[in-house]
Structures are given as C-alpha cells and as structure tokens.
Structure 1
Amino acid sequence: MAEKPQPVQVLYCGVCGLPAEYCEFGPDFEKCKPWLIQYSPQTYPDLQGANVKDVDGVTNQLQSATITDGVSGSGSSAPKQEPVKRLPGGKVKKKEKQEVIIEKVTRNKRKSITTLKGLDLFGVKLSDASKKLGKKFATGASVVKGPTEKDQIDVQGDIAYDIVEFITHTWPDVPETAIYFIEDGKKVPAV
C-alpha cells in the first residue's frame, strides 16, 4: 500500500502573520527581517549575510519611535501626522470632505425625491435624522444605500426650500457653509 501523504508544515511570520516566504510582499518587510533571520534563515539566504545586531538595531529604533510617538512629551511641539490610509495596490485613500450635499431628483414628471448625503460625517445618526425629517415635513423619509454604496437619506417631495435652515437648527455641528445643492450637475453652495 502507498503511504498517506503528510500535511505540509507552514511556518508563519511572528511579526506580520504571513507565511515566511511571503513576508517580502507584506506590509513592512523591514520589521520582519530580524524574525526571519532568527527563525527561518533558509527562506531568505541573502539575509544570512546581514548582521543580526544591525537589523535588531533598526527594530529597536522602530520600537522606540513608536513608543515615543504614543507618549506626548511636554517639551515637544511637533505636529502629529495622521497615518496615510492606503487602498489595495498602494493608492492613497483620499480623506472625505465634511459636507452635506442636497439633490432633488424628479421622477414621473411631477413627483420628486430630495436626497441628503454626508450628514453622517458630522456625527449625525442617519436613522434618527430620517425620522426627524419625516416628522418635520410630513413625508416619508428613509435611509438607503446610494450609488456609491454609502448611506444617504431619501425624503419624498421637494423640501429643498426649508432643509438648510432645519439642518443647521437641529444639528448645530453642521455649519451652513458645509451645505451644498446639486443644480444642473453642478455643486452650488447653499448660502
């Protein structure tokens, strides 16, 4: 009889969690190098020539830098930089602007729907906002997924005439300068 094949034993990196042979494609190969030299020197033979103390010195610098970044010193006034968010492929994710966009969509020639986008960026809970809008304007209002897969509020009817005053009155965190209308495909300030 033929022997049963044994399962392959995979060595996972203790730093990034990837299999050791894929560390070079991981988020930070430099942090993985000391671990690879110590536990898996056969995976990357070009690292064997590197001095472990040199690589350990780099990781110690990285660790001390992260420790000092977490503790705010009384004498240092260096501005704290926000970490850059990256999308798959290395593209930098753009930070969303805090703005409320109001758009009126007409359907069946007479009926219209007013959509509000971006109200959640100011810390407003959309379900509560839709209830308040429905009560104030005596119409149906609901939270739906928009075309960009982000939540928005759809309110039945053309309420664009009073909505700016209602938003700034109900949620004082939303400045009037951050509210825009979409008219003829162009973004127009509500002020």
Structure 2
Amino acid sequence: MKQQAKEEAKAERLLQKKLSSKVTIKRIERSKRKHVIAIQGLEVFEIDLKKLSKTFASRFATGASVTKSVEGKDEIIIQGDVGDEVEEYVTELLEEKGLNEIKVEQVEEKSKKKKQQGVVVPPQ
C-alpha cells in the first residue's frame, strides 16, 4: 500500500516537472547571414534527442547534431535559419504526447562583434 502511494507521488511529480518546463528555440547568428538553431528543454519529455536530430536533418535537408550546452544539458543544433519550422514541428510533437500546455518559445541571440578602432594614417 505504501509502495503504491510512493509511485503515484513520483508520477505526479514527474508530470508537474514536465508541465512546468519549457522548450527554448534559440536562433544564433554566425558569420554574415549564417544562423544555427539550438533547441533546449526536450530531454524532460523522454524524447530520444539523437533520433530527433536525425529527423530534423532529413526534414530540413541540413546538418543537425546533439551537443552539450554550457549548462551541461543536451541540446540539438540545426544548421540554417529554420526556427519557425522547428517550432511548428516541436509543438506538433508535444501535442502528440498529450502535452499541449508546454511553452515553446523562440529567442534571438546576436553575436557580440568587437568593433575595431583602427588608427587612420593619413597618406604621405
């Protein structure tokens, strides 16, 4: 009896953790007009990130891989500016699992370029 109550409490905690988490789709600017998309927060939903990255690679005809983020969590990196399509696909994927209340948000991250302050030497 006590064991069953513990399992139910654990399942409830997992469900609350899933509902309180959010998926972040970050658009990161590389050089010139190149961009990559980083997706974080999917590991909570028991989704195989390797399979999902392969799906993204074939669906968007681009490179995709699973890497560790700065915080040490897994994230999917997709080459190219496909943020809107990725957001749509991830939303569909979560709805199939019955998780309609999960927030999927897009964030823009600009690269910090150092402006060179050159010394102008007048011609002689």
TM range (shorter): 0.5 to 0.7
RCO higher in 1 or 2 (8 Å CA, sep ≥ 6)?
2
> Residue 154 of structure 1 aligns with which residue?
77
Show the 5 A alignment for 1:14-29. none
Structure of greater Rg: 1
Query: Contact 1:104–1:160 (CA<8 Å) still a contact in 2?
Result: yes
The 3 A distance-change label for structure 1 pair 81 and 177 is closer
Residue of structure 1 equivalent to 2:3: 70
Say yes or no: does 1:179 pair with 2:104: yes
Per the TM alignment, residue 98 of structure 1 is displaced from its structure 2 partner at its CA by 2.3
Higher strand share: 2
| TM-score, with length taken from structure 1 | 0.45
Q: Between the two proteins, what is the percent identity of the paired residues?
A: 31
Letter of the structure 2 residue corresponding to residue 116 of structure 1 = I
Distance 2:108 2:47 in 1: 25
- Secondary structure of the 1:114 match is strand
Equivalent residue letter for 1:70: Q
1:69 positional shift: 3.1
Which portions of structure 1, spanning 4 or more consecutive aligned residues, are displaced by more than 6 angstroms? none
Listed as ranges, the matches of 1:102-113 within 5 Å are 102-113=25-36
> What is the identity, as a one-letter code, of the residue corresponding to 1:124?
I
Supply the distance in 2 between the matched residues of 1:154 and 1:141 (Cα, whole angstroms). 6
Query: Aligned-pair distance for 1:135?
Result: 0.6
Name the TM-score, length of structure 2 as normaliser.
0.67
1:134 aligns with 2:67: no
Contact 1:103 1:181 in 2 (8 A): yes
Considering only aligned residues, what root-mean-square deviation do their CA atoms show, in Å? 2.7
Cα-to-partner distance string for 1:30-52 (whole Å, 9 max, x where unaligned): xxxxxxxxxxxxxxxxxxxxxxx
CA drift of 1:177 comes to 4.3
